[in-house]
């Protein structure tokens, strides 16, 4: 998922107004939300990339999935060219299981039953699992901090530290490739653009243990603290939302988790080929033309039937 693919020439033909030939595309699903209390990071939306897909001219469903806004559901699936990227799993909260999806959510920071595995799993070819928690902090045998959400390019980070303090897990790194770099689409890091980073887990609930996890590169949200809100992931990049760690005596508003980021569908075709909507609720922007190719960036949540012509 993290390798940088080389650009290649796309060829095709127009017959009766319809295009058939090779296209390049990336499908990014919506990210999962972080966990609410003792919260793990949300898993990133799944990513599917194809540098030379053979398109035969048939209409297809194009869907851009929404990011999850709470920990009870996954992010929305995204779809194009008959392939579906799965939404990210939610971060675990307390001792409840994290969600599985494109990438899985990180474990919550509470383990009353003793070291059970509760991270969410990722989907092969689309993402990675969430990270593990660490319990036993500050003299509490079953309470600690959660694991980071999985990213498209790497597993969620495990929580770590000593019995008197420690950092919650960071979100897993997202993925990069030449399509993203050409469009300069995503979160920039070390000269490359990334999407679908996992969410960071929430920090511990004492002021001296304020070590919330960072969101993974690719739009993942940072974890929160009882005085600091968990971050939402960046819309259009499919990252996981940050987890929240409530103060023990805090109100339910202290538990609010970060939402996952919405997804996107990116398509490269020979210049002059149009992406036409036949039905549905999509918002299709005008293409960006670069070096003889047209690039469509469909980033608004919606679904419809489209074709290339």
The pLDDT tens digits of the residues spanning 70-92 come to 888 999 999 999 999 999 999 99
CA distance 232 to 31: 10
Percent of the chain with pLDDT over 70: 83
Given a contact cutoff of 8 angstroms between Cβ atoms, the answer to whether 168 and 243 are in contact is yes
- Is the confidence at residue 13, as pLDDT, over 60? no
Instruction: Break the chain into its structural domains and give their ranges.
Output: 1-309
Q: Please, which residues have CB within 8 angstroms of residue 105's CB and are 6 or more apart in sequence?
A: 32, 34, 35, 40, 41, 42, 43, 88, 89, 90, 91, 92, 98, 99, 119, 120, 130, 149, 150, 156, 199, 240
| Greatest CA separation for the chain | 73
At 135, which helix (H) or strand (E)?
A: strand 134-135
Write the DSSP string, 201-266.
Answer: PPPPSSGGG--PPPPPTTTPPPP-BTTBPPPPPPTTTTPPPPP----TT--GGGGPPPPPPP-EEE
Higher-pLDDT residue of 58, 16: 58
Rounded to an integer, the average pLDDT of 266-281 is 97
Higher-pLDDT residue of 106, 36: 106
Least confident of 14-23, 207-216, 250-259, 283-292: 250-259
The pLDDT tens digits of the residues spanning 227-268 come to 788 999 999 999 999 998 755 544 555 568 999 999 999 999
Given a contact cutoff of 8 angstroms between Cβ atoms, the answer to whether 300 and 55 are in contact is no
Nearest Cα to Cα of residue 220 among 42, 65, 59: 42
**Amino acid 206: pLDDT:** 53
Given a contact cutoff of 8 angstroms between Cβ atoms, the answer to whether 202 and 168 are in contact is yes
Least confident of 3-17, 69-83, 159-173, 176-190: 3-17
Given a contact cutoff of 8 angstroms between Cβ atoms, the answer to whether 34 and 223 are in contact is yes
Nearest Cα to Cα of residue 34 among 76, 67, 79: 67
Which residues, listed in sequence order, are joined to residue 290 by a DSSP beta bridge?
A: 293
- Is the confidence at residue 95, as pLDDT, over 80? no
Across 16-45, b (16+ Cβ under 10 Å) vs e yields eebbbbbbbbbbbbbbbbbbbbbbbbbbbb
Q: Pseudo-torsion of CA 35, 125, 1, 189, nearest 10°?
A: -20
- Of the pLDDT bands very low, low, confident and very high (cuts 50, 70, 90), residue 208 is very low
Mean pLDDT of the chain: 88
**Amino acid 139: pLDDT:** 55
Percent of the chain with pLDDT over 90: 71
**Reduced to 3 states, what is the DSSP secondary structure of residue 180?**
helix
């Amino acid at each position: 998922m993290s390798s940088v693919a080389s650009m290649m020439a796309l060829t095709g033909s127009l017959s009766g107004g319809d295009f058939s030939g090779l296209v390049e595309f990336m499908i990014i699903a919506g990210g999962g939300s972080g966990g609410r209390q003792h919260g793990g990071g949300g898993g990133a939306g799944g990513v599917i990339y194809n540098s030379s897909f053979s398109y035969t001219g048939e209409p297809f469903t194009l869907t851009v999935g929404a990011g999850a806004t709470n920990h009870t559901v996954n992010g929305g699936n995204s779809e194009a060219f008959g392939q579906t990227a799965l939404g990210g799993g939610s971060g675990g909260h307390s001792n409840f299981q994290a969600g599985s999806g494109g990438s899985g959510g990180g474990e919550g920071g509470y383990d009353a039953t003793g070291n059970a595995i509760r991270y969410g799993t990722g989907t092969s070819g689309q993402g990675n699992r969430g990270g593990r928690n660490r319990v036993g902090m500050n003299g509490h045998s079953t309470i600690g901090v959660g694991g980071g959400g999985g990213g498209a390019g790497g597993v969620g980070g495990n929580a770590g530290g000593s019995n008197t303090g420690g950092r919650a897990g960071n979100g897993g790194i997202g993925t990069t490739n030449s399509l993203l770099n050409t469009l300069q689409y995503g979160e920039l890091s070390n000269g490359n653009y990334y999407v679908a980073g996992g969410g960071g887990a929430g920090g511990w609930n004492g002021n001296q243990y304020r070590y919330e996890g960072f969101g993974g590169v690719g739009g993942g949200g940072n974890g929160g603290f009882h005085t600091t809100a968990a971050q939402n992931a960046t819309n259009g990049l499919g990252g996981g939302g940050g987890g929240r760690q409530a103060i023990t005596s805090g109100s339910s508003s202290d538990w609010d988790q970060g939402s996952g980021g919405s997804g996107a569908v990116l398509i490269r075709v020979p210049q002059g080929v149009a992406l036409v909507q036949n039905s549905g609720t999509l918002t299709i922007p005008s293409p960006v033309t670069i070096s003889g190719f047209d690039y469509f960036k469909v980033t608004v949540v919606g679904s419809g039937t489209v074709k290339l012509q």
